[in-house]
Amino acid sequence: MTLTQELVDWTYEQKCRKAVASLEKNGFTAVYCNSGTEASDYIIREAEGAASIGFGGSMSVVDLQVADRLKEMGKELLNHSAPGLTPEQRLEIMHRQLACDLFLTGTNALTLSGMLVNIDATGNRVGSMFFGPRKVIVVAGRNKLVDGGVEDAIRRVKEMASPPNARRLNFKTPCATTGFCSDCNSPDRICRVTTVIDRQPRRTDMRILVINEDMGL
């Protein structure tokens, strides 16, 4: 590892640890992970007692490559993005995610003051984050950290997450072509539901893994 990389990692570690401390102050169970591997191992341990595992469609969770390991453990995977599903099957899986044993998702932004900010198109991902599943694990790579408030977090999502996500999902939005948000009114607009989770939800066992690696968009 170069000295530059070492210093970059150290700087991000301080920010990640600050976010963890703020999340804990806000009542969440938060864990600092030095790497994606540490986060994957945490998820596998926490999945032991779960029969059904829901996937919110997060690139961060894809990056962790836990799906195959969970399948080998005999878990039922509820993934509405799996290839070959009909629209009806996708919708059915989204409904079942709302009541799964363990829901895995990323977050579009995490403020250093310990708030999770997300923008969703359908609302299934954000809905499953705060009520329904018995346990929720949120994966937050260091690239999701925002030193600011809700408005700054929303700006991060509109600048760094929504345009590439619209492109990835092949939506016909202006940002999928230009890379910039124009607050469109497109039928394909993916920014339709904005949520701020600023304290641990009362009835949901929610864990936030703050990882000192870039994860997802």
- Rule CB under 6 A: choose which of 162, 195, 200, 212 binds ligand SF4: 162
Q: Please, is 191 exposed, middle or buried when counting C-beta atoms within 10 Å of its C-beta (0-12, 13-18, 19+)? A: buried
Q: How far is the CB of 159 from ligand SF4 (least distance, A)?
A: 8
Say whether residue 195 binds ligand SF4 (CB under 6 A). no
Q: How far is the CB of 179 from ligand SF4 (least distance, A)?
A: 10
- Rule CB under 6 A: choose which of 79, 107, 111, 173 binds ligand SF4: 173
Q: Please, is 64 exposed, middle or buried when counting C-beta atoms within 10 Å of its C-beta (0-12, 13-18, 19+)? A: buried
Say whether residue 189 binds ligand SF4 (CB under 6 A). yes
Residue 132's nearest CA partner among 70, 201, 191 is 201
Instruction: Considering only the stretches 44-52, 63-71, 147-155, 156-164, report the one whose residues sit in contact with ligand SF4 under the rule CB under 6 A.
Output: 156-164
Say whether residue 156 binds ligand SF4 (CB under 6 A). no
- Rule CB under 6 A: choose which of 23, 39, 115, 166 binds ligand SF4: 166
Say whether residue 23 binds ligand SF4 (CB under 6 A). no
CA 104 to chain centre: 8
Q: How far is the CB of 185 from ligand SF4 (least distance, A)?
A: 8
Sign of the CA dihedral with 175 first, then 198, 96, and 74 last: positive
Task: Please list the alpha-helical segments (H only) found in the chain.
Answer: 3-25, 36-46, 59-64, 67-72, 87-97, 124-130, 150-156, 162-168, 174-178
Instruction: Considering only the stretches 3-11, 52-60, 93-101, 176-184, report the one whose residues sit in contact with ligand SF4 under the rule CB under 6 A.
Output: 176-184
Q: In terms of CB distance, is 58 or 113 closer to ligand SF4?
A: 58
Q: How far is the CB of 181 from ligand SF4 (least distance, A)?
A: 3
Cβ(124)–Cβ(157) below 8 Å:
no
- Spell 71-109 as b/e; 16+ CB within 10 A means b: eeeebebbbbeeeeeeeeebeebbeebeebbbbbbbbbb
Say whether residue 184 binds ligand SF4 (CB under 6 A). yes
Q: Which token pair is 33?
A: 């992970």
- Rule CB under 6 A: choose which of 48, 72, 88, 183 binds ligand SF4: 183
Q: In terms of CB distance, is 147 or 159 closer to ligand SF4?
A: 159
Residues that bind ligand SF4 (CB under 6 A): 158, 162-163, 166, 173-175, 181-184, 186, 189-191
